């Protein structure tokens, strides 16, 4: 056994799956998918083949040419992180296999919404979130970013629903016999097939679909925004994302041609667990980013930047996650700098810097996860998700930029993308390429300290920005009892308030926190970052008056960036006795409305603190 990724059963000594043809029958009544997967291998293989699965039922494995069964075994003892090893025995140089399988209602990648949980209220909805290691709960695969796949997919749905995918839409048509797992159901009256293809090789974590009552609006020459019918945000989204084409152009200037043809945006229901997910051709977004103040554009800039850093060049495993997120955070800020101005970009760097310092606090008892290059053997990547790979990664690249100057750094970035596109690489490959491209760089920058050291290196830097400095110093004055004046905050948008609130100490005087809200109405701010930052502070300092507002927030959103701090503040804050009771009650009520990944994360917060 030659493992290549701490989160996969894939074996480096075997061939990998390189193409998948899926036929998926969506059963909304049982919230399961019945499917067939024709898996083609990168080269013919004899002997055992190891595939990743999680909570899948495997009905049969066969030779696609003869339909003769192939021996297989599904490990009966699931690994809590990796799931279940599906081991198939191939005799005689097989290069493909056909698997019949079903997903479980608890599939960790899928959230199924019943009609009452949607905005239209008439039809159900289902969507995926596969990063980091959830694709295996939809179909058997080599669920490691090292094993890139091309795919085609037939999604069989009730006829009044439609589907989108991180792939090219080929056509919508009636089902045909012989193409799905079971002809009778597959071809039943009223069913429709949506056909997709992805011809570029992607890591499995970028596999994505959504199905429901979905409509769209044109935003730019290669961009449409999609959302649920009757979603309150569709029109606002189209306005918020108006600058997308300008951003794509800026991305191309920095990194080279946009290789994915379309850049569409899907606004998901509020339970979507992330701010955004860079699914190729179709970025997935939380509706909470549409605040009307440009904060949505920042998230789009980030997910767009992944089109190069992440989707073209991919981390070989989650150990090197910073290669995806650090580069993307850097690129995002370069795009923001052009589209929204230098001041805005500097403010974002400042918010990132504050966040990085907070993470150092969070990990102070386990500094391993303050490193860029990590060892995640035995670790659930969803548990240790943090801003470290984003912000320390950003700082590392910014440090290199300062060393060699922007023109040379831009040149370096372009060469890096051109050389490694459509490959999955690790930190060592990056370092080797850096040293080869910038001879002597290791004499000026302590590369080892940056990638393998813990904490924040001494040559990291706070942004130089008058606005950033002013906000941080106002936050310091809060401790001395001084609130910012109306004049000082007159021009503040969401991000300014976010930075200010995140810099207020968690042991601030409760009455002063309340007075701040009385003056500036932060608990009901239209920007979610501000609202959540304020409510987190209020819960931390033990202000029970805000428990109702916290409860309402936890009931209306499933984005983990908000769930994590709010639940944590409730169970560890000054009024933690009541807070813990409230947290448990709210979670028992709201649980079903969260994505399975978010359910797991909240459970672990409650579990650690009771
Ligand atoms: N790829 C990430 C989201 C992700 C990371 C999903 C790890 C699963 C595992 C995405 O690009 C991201 O970073 N989203 C951020 C937005 C941002 C930094 C602007 C988010 O969701 O908050
Ligand atoms: Zn990202």
Model pLDDT, residue 52: 98
With tokens 């994915």, the residue in question is 260
289 lines ligand 1 (CB under 6 A): no
User: Is a pLDDT exceeding 80 seen at residue 105?
Assistant: yes
Model pLDDT, residue 271: 96
Q: Point out the residues that are catalytic.
A: 303, 390
Give the SS3 label for residue 93.
strand
Integer Cα distance of 343 and 365 in angstroms: 35
302 lines ligand 1 (CB under 6 A): yes
Read off the pLDDT of residues 70-100 as tens digits, 9 standing for 90 and up.
Answer: 999 999 999 999 999 999 999 888 899 999 9
The stretch 89-116 carries a mean pLDDT of 96
Could you please report the per-residue DSSP string of 337-352?
HHHT-HHHHHHHHHHH
Model pLDDT, residue 292: 80
Q: From ligand 1's centre to the CA of 72, what distance in Å?
A: 36
Q: What is the CA radius of gyration of the chain?
A: 24
Segment (H or E) for 237? helix 234-240
321 close to 315: Cβ distance less than 8 angstroms: yes
- Specify burial of residue 255 (Cβ count, 10 A radius: 0-12, 13-18, 19+): buried
309 close to 278: Cβ distance less than 8 angstroms: no
User: Is a pLDDT exceeding 90 seen at residue 295?
Assistant: no
Q: Where are the domains of the chain?
A: 17-212, 225-307, 312-464, 466-608
Read off the pLDDT of residues 397-415 as tens digits, 9 standing for 90 and up.
Answer: 999 999 999 999 999 999 9
Residue 222 corresponds to which tokens in the numbers above? Answer: 């290669």
278 lines ligand 1 (CB under 6 A): yes
Which among 161, 69, 131 has a CA at the least distance from the CA of 560?
Answer: 131
Atom of ligand 1 nearest to the CA of 302: 19
> Which residues are paired to 154 by β-bridges?
23, 195
**Within 10 Å of residue 524's Cβ, how many Cβ atoms?**
11
The CATH class, in words, for 466-608 is mainly alpha
Segment (H or E) for 607? helix 596-608
Query: Which residue owns the Cα nearest ligand 1 atom 14?
Result: 276
299 lines ligand 1 (CB under 6 A): yes
Query: Which residue owns the Cα nearest ligand 1 atom 22?
Result: 275
Q: From ligand 2's centre to the CA of 324, what distance in Å?
A: 7
Q: From ligand 2's centre to the CA of 333, what distance in Å?
A: 12
Integer Cα distance of 426 and 451 in angstroms: 12
Model pLDDT, residue 80: 97
Integer Cα distance of 572 and 587 in angstroms: 16
User: Is a pLDDT exceeding 90 seen at residue 294?
Assistant: no
Residue 158 corresponds to which tokens in the numbers above? Answer: 């009730």
Model pLDDT, residue 55: 98
Q: Specify the CATH number for 17-212; select among 2.60.40.1730, 3.40.50.300, 1.10.10.10, 3.40.50.1390.
A: 2.60.40.1730
Q: Specify the CATH number for 312-464; select among 1.10.390.10, 3.20.20.10, 3.50.50.60, 1.10.287.3510.
A: 1.10.390.10
Q: From ligand 2's centre to the CA of 251, what distance in Å?
A: 15
Output the furthest CA–CA distance in the chain (Å, rounded): 79
- Using 50, 70 and 90 to split pLDDT, how confident is the model at 3? confident
Q: What percent of the chain has pLDDT over 90?
A: 96
- How many Cα atoms are found within 13 Å in the side-chain-facing hemisphere of 319? 21
Of 127, 247, 275, 563, best ligand 1 pocket probe by most atoms within 8 Å of the beta carbon: 275
Which among 194, 191, 162, 348 has a CA at the least distance from the CA of 266?
Answer: 162
Model pLDDT, residue 540: 97
331 close to 305: Cβ distance less than 8 angstroms: yes
CA-angle at 88, arms to 86 and 92, nearest 5°: 160
Could you please report the per-residue DSSP string of 194-228?
EEEEEEEEE-GGG--EEEESEEEEEEETTEEEEEE
- Alpha carbon separation from 12 to 16, 17, 206, 261 (Å, rounded): 8, 12, 21, 32
Segment (H or E) for 412? helix 406-420
- Using 50, 70 and 90 to split pLDDT, how confident is the model at 267? very high
Q: Specify the CATH number for 225-307; select among 3.40.50.10540, 3.30.2010.30, 3.20.20.80, 3.30.428.10.
A: 3.30.2010.30
Residues within 5 Å of ion ligand 2, judged at the Cβ atom: 325, 328
Which among 368, 331, 121, 138 has a CA at the least distance from the CA of 231?
Answer: 121
Which among 137, 269, 25 has a CA at the least distance from the CA of 600?
Answer: 137
Query: Which residue owns the Cα nearest ligand 1 atom 6?
Result: 131
Model pLDDT, residue 291: 85
Integer Cα distance of 579 and 587 in angstroms: 12
Q: Helices in 480-527 by DSSP H: which ranges?
A: 486-489, 494-502, 510-520
Given 3-state DSSP classes, what are the helix, strand and coil percentages for the chain, each rounded to the nearest 5? 40, 25, 35
Model pLDDT, residue 1: 74
Q: The whole model's pTM is what?
A: 0.98
- Specify burial of residue 279 (Cβ count, 10 A radius: 0-12, 13-18, 19+): buried
Residue 132: cis peptide before it, omega within 30 degrees of 0: yes
Sheet with 214-220, strands from edge to edge, namely 214-220, 223-228, 264-267, 282-285, 276-277
The stretch 152-180 carries a mean pLDDT of 98
**Do the bridges between strand 264-267 and strand 282-285 make them parallel or antiparallel, or are there none, so unpaired?**
parallel
Atom of ligand 1 nearest to the CA of 325: 13
Read off the pLDDT of residues 321-372 as tens digits, 9 standing for 90 and up.
Answer: 999 999 999 999 999 999 999 999 999 999 999 999 999 999 999 999 999 9
- Alpha carbon separation from 191 to 26, 157, 293 (Å, rounded): 10, 6, 42
Give the SS3 label for residue 252.
helix
Mean of all residue pLDDT scores within the chain: 96
7 lines ligand 1 (CB under 6 A): no
Those residues whose C-beta lies under 8 Å from the C-beta of residue 533, and which sit 6 or more positions away, are 497, 498, 501, 502, 522
Atom of ligand 1 nearest to the CA of 299: 19
Of 109, 277, 564, best ligand 1 pocket probe by most atoms within 8 Å of the beta carbon: 277
Model pLDDT, residue 179: 97
**Within 10 Å of residue 25's Cβ, how many Cβ atoms?**
23
Of 290, 302, 322, 344, best ligand 1 pocket probe by most atoms within 8 Å of the beta carbon: 302
Which among 214, 338, 199, 321 has a CA at the least distance from the CA of 264?
Answer: 214
């Amino acid at each position: 056994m030659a493992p290549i990724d701490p989160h996969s059963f894939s074996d480096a000594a075997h061939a990998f799956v390189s193409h998948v043809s899926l036929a998926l029958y969506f059963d909304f009544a049982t919230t399961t998918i019945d499917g067939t997967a024709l898996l083609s291998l990168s080269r013919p293989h004899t002997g055992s083949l190891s595939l990743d699965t999680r909570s899948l039922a495997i009905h049969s494995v066969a030779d696609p040419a003869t339909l003769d069964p192939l021996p297989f075994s599904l490990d009966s003892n699931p690994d809590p992180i990796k799931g279940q090893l599906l081991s198939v025995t191939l005799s005689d140089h097989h290069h493909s296999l056909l698997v019949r399988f079903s997903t479980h209602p608890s599939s960790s990648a899928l959230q199924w919404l019943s009609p009452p949980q949607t905005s239209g209220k008439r039809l159900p909805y289902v969507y995926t979130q596969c990063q980091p290691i959830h694709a295996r709960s939809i179909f058997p695969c080599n669920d490691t970013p090292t094993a890139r796949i091309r795919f085609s997919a037939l999604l069989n749905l009730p006829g009044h629903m439609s589907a989108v995918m991180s792939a090219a839409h080929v056509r919508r048509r009636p089902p045909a016999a012989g193409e799905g797992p079971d002809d009778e159901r597959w071809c039943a009256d009223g069913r429709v097939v949506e056909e997709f293809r992805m011809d570029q090789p992607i890591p499995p974590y970028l596999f994505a679909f959504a199905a429901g009552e979905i409509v769209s609006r044109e935003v730019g020459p290669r961009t449409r925004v999609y959302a649920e019918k009757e979603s309150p945000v569709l029109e606002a989204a189209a306005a918020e994302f108006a600058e997308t084409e300008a951003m794509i152009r800026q991305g191309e200037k920095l990194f080279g041609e946009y290789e994915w043809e379309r850049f569409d945006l899907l606004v998901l229901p509020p339970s979507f667990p992330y701010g955004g997910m860079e699914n190729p051709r179709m970025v997935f977004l939380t509706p909470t980013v549409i605040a009307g103040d440009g904060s949505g554009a920042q998230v789009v800039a980030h997910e767009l930047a992944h089109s190069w850093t992440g989707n073209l060049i991919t981390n070989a495993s989650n150990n090197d996650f910073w290669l995806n997120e650090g580069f993307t955070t850097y690129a995002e800020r370069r795009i923001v700098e052009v589209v929204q101005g230098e001041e805005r970009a500097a403010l974002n760097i400042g918010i990132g810097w504050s966040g990085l310092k907070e993470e150092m606090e969070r990990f102070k008892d386990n500094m391993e996860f303050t490193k860029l290059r990590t060892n995640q053997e035995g670790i659930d990547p969803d548990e240790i998700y943090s801003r470290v790979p984003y912000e320390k990664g950003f700082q590392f690249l910014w440090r290199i930029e300062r060393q060699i100057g922007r023109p040379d750094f831009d040149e370096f970035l372009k060469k890096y993308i051109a050389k490694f596109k459509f490959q999955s690489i690790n930190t060592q490959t990056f370092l080797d390429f850096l040293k080869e491209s910038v001879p002597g760089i290791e004499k000026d920058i302590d590369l080892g300290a940056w990638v393998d050291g813990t904490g924040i290196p001494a040559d990291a830097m706070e942004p130089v920005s008058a606005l950033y400095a002013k906000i941080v110093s106002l936050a310091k004055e809060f401790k001395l009892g001084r609130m910012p004046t109306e004049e000082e905050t007159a021009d503040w948008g969401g991000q300014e308030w976010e930075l200010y609130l995140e810099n207020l100490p968690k042991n601030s005087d409760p009455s002063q926190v309340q007075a701040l809200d009385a003056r500036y109405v932060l608990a009901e701010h239209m920007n979610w970052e501000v609202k959540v930052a304020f409510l987190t502070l209020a819960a931390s300092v033990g202000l029970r008056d805000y428990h109702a507002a916290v409860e309402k927030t936890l009931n209306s959103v499933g984005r983990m960036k908000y769930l994590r701090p709010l639940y944590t503040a409730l169970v560890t804050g000054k009024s933690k006795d009541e807070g813990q009771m409230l947290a448990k009650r709210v979670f028992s009520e709201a649980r079903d409305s969260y994505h399975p990944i978010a359910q797991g994360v909240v459970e672990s917060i409650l579990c650690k603190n009771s």
